[in-house]
Structure 1
Amino acid sequence: MVIPAALALLGYARSLAGVTRAQRAVWVKARIVAVEQPAHGGSRKPGIPVTLTFQDPGTGREFTLSNAGKHGEAIEEAWVGREVEVRYPPGQPLRFAVVLGGAGEQTGREGPDCAVMLLLIGLVIHATVRWGWPWALLGFGTLLTAAAVRSPDIRMVRARNAQLASAVAVPARVVAVTRDVYTDDESGGDIVVHAPSSPSPPTRAPTSPPCPARASPIRAGPSTAPSPSTTPPPTRPSTPPTPRPTAVRER
C-alpha cells in the first residue's frame, strides 16, 4: 500500500505544480469541415474519416488536417460543424490528438485518482481479512457509491437522453458496412462483427405533417354488384322417399 500512496502523492503534487503532460499540452477546439465515407468492409476501429480545422493560439495559424483514427480517439459520430477537443505538444500542432472526454484529462489527475482507488481497495481487503466480511460489504459499497457519484457516465447518459428527446427523426441510408474479426478465447474460433454506417442528412426545419386524406362519405343507393347476403343459396332436387316392403301373412 506504500507504492499506491506514494504514486498518488507524486501525481497530485505534479498536478498542483502544473507540470503534467496534459497540463503542458495545448488544448484547442477543432471543427469538422468535411466528412468522408468509411471503407466498406473495413474495420470500425479507426472511426469515421474526417477533416478538422483548428487555430494554433501561439502562432495564430489555422491548420486543416485529416484524421482517420490515427490521431487520438476514434470519431464514431461526425457531421460538418461539430466541435471536438484536440490537444498537442506546444509548437507541434501536426501531432494533434482528438480527445472526446477532455474535461477530465486537462487537470492531469486521472493517474493519481487511480492510485488512490487502488489504495482504498487494499485498505478494504486488509480490513476484511482482519475484522470479517461485514467490512467488505461496507467498504466496497462505499467505494462503488463514490465511484458512481464521481463518474461522468451518469451526466453523459442524462445529456444523451435529453438530446434524443429533442431529436427530429429523419430518413437515412446505409453507405458502408464495417467488418471486424475477433478470436474467441474459449473456442479459438473467429467472431465476425458487422456494423452499418449511415450518413446524417442536412438539418432541415421541422415541417408540419401533411393532412391525411379524408375518406369520402358512403351514400346509400342502388348497388350494381349483387350483395352476397341476398343471393339465394343453390337448391338441391328433392328425392321421393323409398317405399318400405310390407310383409303378407297367410291364414
Structure 2
Amino acid sequence: MDAQGMLELWWTVPAGAALVGYAGSLAGLTRPQRAVWVTARVVEVHRPAHGDSKRPGIPVTVAFQDPSTGREFRLRHAGRNGHVVAAAWVGREFPVRYPRRHPERFHLMLDRVGEERGLGGPNCMLLLLLVGLVVQTFVARGWPDGLICLGGLLLVVGALSRDRQHARARAVLLDEAVAVPGRVVAVIKDTYTDGEGDEIVDHAPVVAFTTREGVHVTALCREGIAQPQLSLDRDLTIHYAPADPAVFTPDLDHDRRERASAVRFVVSLLLTGIAAVGLGAALLNGLLPVT
C-alpha cells in the first residue's frame, strides 16, 4: 500500500481508540471504574499568595477515609492531582478517586457525573473522528456533502451542549442571591506568549467573603471585577447563592450578560448547523449553482 492509501486509513486510529475505550467502559476496566471512590471533606483552606500562578486554583487540605482499612488520610490538593478548586471553605465536600491501596495518589473531582465510567477519552476520540470525517467529506465529495456533514456535526454538538442547562441552573440559584461584603485578598496571574511572541498576562483576583451562615469562602473570581490587576485589597459586594456559595458574582448584570452569551453561542451553533444542512441540500439538488 502506498502513502496515499495509508493516509486514507487515518480514521482507523481514532475509531479504534474510541472502540477500545467504550469496550473497556462496558467491561468495567477503565481507570475510574477500577478506582476507589470516596467523599472528601475540606479541612483547611490555603490562601494563594499574591502573584502566584492561578493554575493550582485554591489549595486545600482534604480528609477522607479509606474504606478498606478505615484509616483517615489528610492530604493537600493544589490542582496537580485532579480538577482545580475554584471556591473553597472548610466543610465543603468533593468526590475523590484513587487506585486501590494507594490513597496518596488521589484525584479530586468536582462531580461524579460523566466521570465514573471513564468515557472522557473515548468521547474525545469520537469527536476527533467526526471532525476528520467532515474534512474528508469536503475533500473527497465536494461542498454539498461537506456542508451537510458539517451542519449535522454542529447540530449534534449544539444539542449535546450543557451550556444552556448550566446557565439556567445558575440563574435559578442567583435569583435568590444574598449580598455580603467581600474583599480581594490576592491577585494571581499567569504569563503566556501568543503566536507573534507578544507577552500576555492573565490576572485572576482571589476574593474572600463570609456568608450569613458564618461560612468563610475563598474563591477565584475570573469575571466581574474591573481592572483585576489593580484590584488587591479592593472591597466588593459579593452576591452568592445560599444553596451553594460557590455560585457567586460581584456584578449581577455582568453575570447575566455572560449567561446570555453562553446561550446565544449554543443557539448560533444550532442555527449555523441548520443553515449548513439547508445550503448543502440546495447545492446537492441543483437549486443553487456550485462554484
Q: TM-score range by the shorter chain?
A: 0.7 to 0.9
Q: Distance in 2 between matches of 1:143 and 1:4?
A: 17
Q: Distance in 2 between matches of 1:142 and 1:52?
A: 44
Report the equivalent of 2:276.
Answer: none
Report the equivalent of 2:204.
Answer: 195
Q: CA deviation at 1:101?
A: 4.3
Q: Distance in 1 between matches of 2:190 and 2:136?
A: 43
Greater helix proportion:
2
Instruction: Please show how residues 2-21 of structure 1 align to structure 2 within 5 Å.
Output: 2-21=12-31
Report the equivalent of 2:107.
Answer: 97
Structure 2 runs not aligned, ≥5 long: 1-10, 215-291
Q: Distance in 1 between matches of 2:191 and 2:72?
A: 39
Report the equivalent of 1:158.
Answer: 168
Change (3 A) 1:127 1:185: closer
> What amino acid is the match of 1:199?
A
After superposition, give the CA deviation of every residue in 1:175-219 in whole Å (9 maximum; x if it has no partner): 112132222331x232223322111214339xxxxxxxxxxxxxx
Tell which structure's C-alpha radius of gyration is larger.
1
1:199 partner SS: strand
1:47 partnered with 2:57: yes
Q: Distance in 2 between matches of 1:163 and 1:177?
A: 27
What is the aligned residue count?
A: 204
Q: Distance in 2 between matches of 1:93 and 1:152?
A: 32
Which of structure 1's runs of 4+ aligned residues deviate more than 4 A?
Answer: none
Q: CA deviation at 1:140?
A: 1.5
1:168 partnered with 2:178: yes
Q: Is the 8 A contact 1:54 1:64 kept in 2?
A: yes
Q: Is the 8 A contact 1:36 1:48 kept in 2?
A: yes
> What amino acid is the match of 2:41?
R
1:154 partner SS: helix
Instruction: Please show how residues 81-120 of structure 1 align to structure 2 within 5 Å.
Output: 81-120=91-130
Q: Distance in 2 between matches of 1:41 and 1:151?
A: 35
Q: Distance in 2 between matches of 1:55 and 1:159?
A: 32
1:204 partnered with 2:201: no
Report the equivalent of 1:58.
Answer: 68
Q: CA deviation at 1:93?
A: 0.7
Q: Distance in 2 between matches of 1:181 and 1:125?
A: 34
Report the equivalent of 2:187.
Answer: 177
Name the Cα RMSD after superposition.
2.1
1:113 partner SS: helix
Q: CA deviation at 1:88?
A: 0.8
> What amino acid is the match of 1:63?
F
Q: Is the 8 A contact 2:180 2:211 kept in 1?
A: no
After superposition, give the CA deviation of every residue in 1:92-115 in whole Å (9 maximum; x if it has no partner): 111111122442121112222222
Q: CA deviation at 1:131?
A: 3.5
Structure 1 runs not aligned, ≥5 long: 206-251
Q: Is the 8 A contact 1:48 1:77 kept in 2?
A: yes
Q: Distance in 1 between matches of 2:163 and 2:202?
A: 25
> What amino acid is the match of 1:200?
F
Q: CA deviation at 1:52?
A: 0.9
Q: Distance in 1 between matches of 2:66 and 2:137?
A: 52
1:57 partner SS: coil
> What amino acid is the match of 2:177?
A
> What amino acid is the match of 1:60?
G
Change (3 A) 1:150 1:173: same
> What amino acid is the match of 2:109?
V
Q: Distance in 1 between matches of 2:55 and 2:91?
A: 22
> What amino acid is the match of 2:204?
A
